[in-house]
A and B are shown apart, each in its own frame.
Chain A
Amino acid sequence: MPRPRLPAPALFLSLAAFLVLVFYIVPLILTLWASLTPVRNWNVAQLRQFVGAENYKRLFHLIRFDPDVSTVVKTTIVFVAGTLAVNVLGGLLLALAAFIIEERASLGFRLLWFLPRMTPVAVFGLLWYYFFYPQGTLNAILLRLHLISHPVNWGQDVLPWGPWSIIIFVNGLVGVSYGMIIFYSAFKAIPKDIYRAALVDGARLRDLVFRIMLPLTRWHLIFVTVWQLLSLLTTYAHLFVLVEWGVVEKWHGMTWALYVFETAFGSAVNDQALASAAATLLVVVGIGLGLLTLRLMGFERELGAVRGEL
């Protein structure tokens, strides 16, 4: 068969390529560029001056010696690891529950878990603001149960795990439906006869889950883990609201992505050069972690050997 000529595929690819170029490649180059200049306070003329690795030196100095910035690093690690665990394991558990319960009930169940994702960020943030702030719902419940004697400002005073728990909780709720929906459809995609065969072979629920369902949805597990990992590294919308409204203490509620945002656009600093260096670092770490996760979970092995029917 003759190979298709270039123009047709090129035409189809051009739109996507254009979008990637304009919204990904160009900003990436601009960021990299800006990180090598002393640009501050939107003084774009400074984009012509080069300072070499100066911003990166400042950044690593801050990470080492500024307690606030090193807290941001710790918060990022705890937040990403914790929320990733909640999203992947929680998504698995919810998908299992949705799979096991009756079909009609399952739809409502899944919709319920989609609510956080469908709710606007500000509304969802406000909801949890009312829940966690000192005079909020959580303290009211705990006071009524006599578990505490006076209201506690969980997000500000209980450091570091108070704010960390809150940001993991809120983002976990938003993200968990993603894993749920992917895993649920993956479980559904396993042929019914496989489940029946396993049941006749004597499998209990535990055997079904660990010997049939999880091994057969390994690919989805890898995908959700890597996807969520990269999303969590860069997400900051909910965190921004929680920090801005004082639900959580500033540095213990701030991840690296939010730190980049605050440094570039925040009210206090407006140091675009430093923010660009921080953003570039985030991209490098993201790529590294993504590849590492793929390797750890045996992505190449999955790609290499096709198992089962195509």
Chain B
Amino acid sequence: MVEVELRGVWKRFGDFVAVKNVNLRFPDGKFSSILGPSGSGKTTLLYLIAGIYKPSRGEILFDGEDVSQLPPNKRNVGLVFQNYALYPHMTVYENIAFPLTIKGLPRGEIEERVHSVARMLHIDELLDRYPHQISGGQQQRVALARALVKEPALLLLDEPLSNLDALVRLEIRGELKRLQRRLGITTIYVTHDQSEALAMADLIAVIHRGEIQQVGSPEDVYRRPRNLFVAGFIGMPPANLVKATVTRAPAPCVVIAGGGEYCPGEPLASKLEALGLEAVVVAFRPEDVVLGEHPMEDYVSLEAEVYVVETLGRENLVTLRLPDGQAVKAITSPLLNPRPGDKMYVNVEPSKILLYDPETELNIEAIEAAPAARPVSLAEASERRRAAQEED
């Protein structure tokens, strides 16, 4: 199909910068997702790819060819809008046929293609109706059919499920993914719903305030958030973020309120050392917490007081307070039902703990060993080079 690449793409609306220096590659035939909260610039990014907006700076390439200045109708993309944007004065048939009609294809071919895509999406019974006569889920399928009927090289979806009720959403979510696999069409899916992105996408690009925060597989984004924003955005509920101090006697250790101490192994320890941080933010997922009445061996254990227990059916969500007042959430079995005010231990396996620099908000693991922010003098640089050579 087509590989989409964005190189240094900016988009300004007056003084407002909607998209800031975005460099991204959406692989050919894959299902990629642009994930971000509302107002993060994700729809703008999608419209840039569709050609509805032109970038203020930078290039957009389809299979290596610069399409930045091409209008939407020259890009061979299908786009499904959040509100579907069906033409209210046309029947379902006319809506789906619209891209083919204005191309001036012969009537017989239009009919054949409309019927075939309508059959695929199970809307062949609805062709004579008007958009206002069908349900939201059906409108969604019609919008998808209209995008697919022209056999685009690239399918763009702008929050296509957000206007549907929960059950229909789950159903269409599965269908969409199967459909994408079957057609092998490069798909970019914009959503604010991380569960959709995690469930469907091969590749997730997290965007916030117009800037790409992290690009990676769902696993990457979930397990190794590159910065505090991603850690605090992904997950239901998102990761716990707890402020902690760093001690150095003799190895660097992180001291967390509630009596927790975490002494990371290499290479994290030396990175921590090299950065010379006094404080860090500790992140761990609520589902990685083992809540118990006692501290557990080989775990980092924090003493905390139960604040509130939410019964979610399959599990309980317990919010606790550390002695210094910071809140921590834990997902537990529904059988464990502590009462507010109970003293409990929040036990976390050290391997599940991530450390972030509170200044740059970056995952310390992801920071290059030498602190990039500090300029290195020429003398220092030659010193280092000599030291490196001597080691060899």
**Which residue numbers of A lie inside 8 Å of B, CB to CB?**
191, 193-194, 196-204, 207, 211-212, 215-216, 218, 306-309
Contact = CB atoms under 8 A, between A and B. Distances in A.
Given A200-B78, A201-B102, A307-B130, A191 B85 contact: yes
Interface string B70-94: 0111000111011101111100000
Nearest to B131: A308
B150 A215 contact: no
Nearest to B83: A193
A199 B71 contact: yes
Contact of A196 (B52, B87, B103): B52
B88 A307 contact: yes
A191 B72 CA distance: 18
B72 A215 contact: no
Given A199-B71, A215-B89, A216-B87, 18 more contacts: A193-B83, A193-B85, A196-B79, A197-B79, A197-B85, A197-B87, A199-B51, A199-B72, A199-B73, A200-B52, A201-B98, A201-B150, A202-B73, A202-B102, A204-B102, A218-B89, A307-B132, A308-B88
A83 B4 CA distance: 54
B72 A308 contact: no
Contacts of B88: 216, 307-309
Contact of A193 (B72, B78, B81, B146): B81
21 contacts: A193-B82, A193-B83, A194-B85, A196-B47, A196-B72, A197-B81, A197-B86, A197-B87, A198-B87, A198-B98, A199-B51, A200-B51, A200-B73, A200-B77, A200-B79, A201-B102, A202-B73, A216-B88, A216-B89, A307-B132, A308-B88
In the complex, which of the residues A197, A202, A308 has the most CB atoms of chain B within 10 Å of its own CB atom? A197
Contacts of B86: 197
Nearest to A190: B88
A144 to B, nearest CB: 44
Contacts, number: 72
Given A193-B83, A196-B81, A306-B132, A202 B89 contact: no
Contacts of A203: 73, 102
A191 B132 contact: no
B333 to A, nearest CB: 46
Nearest to B77: A200
B99 interface: yes
Nearest to B102: A207
Contacts of A212: 87
B150 to A, nearest CB: 7
A58 B68 CA distance: 75
A191 B102 contact: no
Contacts of B83: 191, 193
B89 A308 contact: yes
A230 B185 CA distance: 57
A204 B71 CA distance: 10
Nearest to B82: A193
A194 B87 contact: yes
**Pairs of residues from A and B, 4 with the lowest C-beta to C-beta distance, nearest first:** A308-B88, A193-B85, A197-B85, A202-B73
Contacts of A307: 88-89, 130, 132
B282 interface: no
Contacts of A306: 132
B331 interface: no
A257 B13 CA distance: 53
A158 B335 CA distance: 100
A196 B87 CA distance: 11
Nearest to B143: A197
Interface in B88-130: 88-89, 98-99, 102-103, 130
Nearest to A218: B89
A171 B137 CA distance: 51
Nearest to A194: B85
B328 interface: no
Contacts of A308: 88-89, 131-132
B139 to A, nearest CB: 11
Interface string B44-55: 000100111000
Interface string B33-53: 000000000000001001110
